[in-house]
């Protein structure tokens, strides 16, 4: 099977060209997340609308949506160290975080480590791209290998993704539990327990020592 997947899609490209469309046709390397964006997991562990997050025993109790709306049980990541990030395409932090998250993905490609990226448009409307093909076009253009990419979510408020309610409950912030901005990061150990939280301005590469410690545990 080829390591490339070809897509042709009509997508909105960038905020400054809102309303203008262009075809995005390309052979897309699988490492940029195409297979992961389009994975159709049939495994279910806990309803993705789970609200009783305070009673969850680990992240494995949650089910989220992939970019096509299919359920993905986080049970599939059992035994792996996870870095969970809310990403955005038009933030001042995007370029640096995309580059360093890509480095981490490549550095730990053969290790029990995975980045889980959740697009979020709650902060300044800086993730205007839609799920599916439009997100694929964006990641391809940015050359961003940011791990497994899921459907767009909210991370704050009553409508926040239950997984994020759980993460904030387990690892509160310095000035309250709410997510402050794009690229907030949570580190999860091999048992599915959130063990650390990092500010949006924290460099992904600066987390390497913490990742290594969990991998060696």
- Which domains can be identified in the chain, with CATH numbers? 31-216 (3.40.30.10)
* pLDDT reported for residue 51: 63
Contacts of 148 (CB under 8 A, 6+ apart): 33, 36, 39, 114, 115, 116, 117
More confident call, 122 vs 22: 122
Q: What is the rounded distance in angstroms from the CA atom of residue 107 to the CA atom of residue 96?
A: 16
Tens digits of residue pLDDT in 176-201: 899 999 999 999 999 999 999 999 99
Which residue among the candidates 24, 91, 120, 137 is catalytic per the annotation? Answer: 91
| 94-107 vs 208-216: helix crossing angle, rounded to 10 | 30
pTM, two decimals, is: 0.80
Burial class (CB in 10 A: 0-12, 13-18, 19+), 48: middle
Q: Please compute the mean of the pLDDT values over residues 112-137 and round it to a whole number.
A: 96
pLDDT digits (tens, 9 = 90+) for 72-101: 999 999 999 999 999 999 999 999 999 999
Taking the C-alpha atoms of residue 186 and residue 167, their distance in angstroms, rounded to an integer, is 7
- Which is it for strands 71-73 and 63-65: parallel, antiparallel or unpaired? antiparallel
Question: Dihedral, CA atoms, 27, 108, 189, 73, nearest 10 degrees?
Answer: 20
For the stretch 7-65, pLDDT in tens is 333 333 333 333 444 445 444 444 445 445 544 333 334 444 456 899 999 999 999 99
Alpha helices in the chain (DSSP H): 34-37, 94-107, 133-142, 162-170, 208-216
pLDDT at 2: 45
Per the annotation, the verdict on 137 as an active-site residue is no
- What percentage of the chain exceeds 90 in pLDDT? 71
Evaluate the CA torsion angle 181, 105, 68, 39 in order and state its sign.
negative
């Amino acid at each position: 099977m080829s390591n490339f997947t070809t897509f042709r899609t009509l997508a909105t490209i960038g905020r400054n060209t809102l309303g203008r469309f262009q075809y995005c046709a390309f052979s897309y390397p699988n490492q940029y997340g195409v297979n992961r964006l389009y994975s159709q997991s049939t495994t279910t562990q806990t309803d993705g609308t789970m609200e009783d997050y305070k009673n969850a025993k680990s992240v494995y109790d949650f089910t989220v949506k992939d970019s096509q709306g299919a359920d993905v049980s986080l049970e599939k990541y059992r035994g792996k160290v996870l870095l969970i990030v809310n990403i955005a395409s038009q933030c001042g932090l995007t370029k640096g975080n995309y580059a360093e998250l890509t480095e981490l993905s490549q550095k730990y490609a053969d290790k029990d480590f995975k980045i889980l990226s959740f697009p979020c448009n709650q902060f300044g409307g800086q993730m205007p791209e839609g799920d599916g093909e439009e997100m694929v076009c964006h990641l391809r253009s940015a050359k961003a290998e940011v791990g497994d990419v899921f459907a767009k979510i909210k991370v704050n408020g009553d409508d926040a993704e239950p997984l994020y309610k759980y993460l904030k409950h387990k690892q509160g912030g310095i000035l309250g539990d709410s997510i402050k901005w794009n690229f907030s990061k949570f580190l999860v150990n091999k048992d599915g327990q959130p063990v650390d939280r990092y500010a949006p301005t924290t460099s992904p590469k600066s987390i390497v020592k913490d990742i290594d410690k969990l991998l060696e545990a």
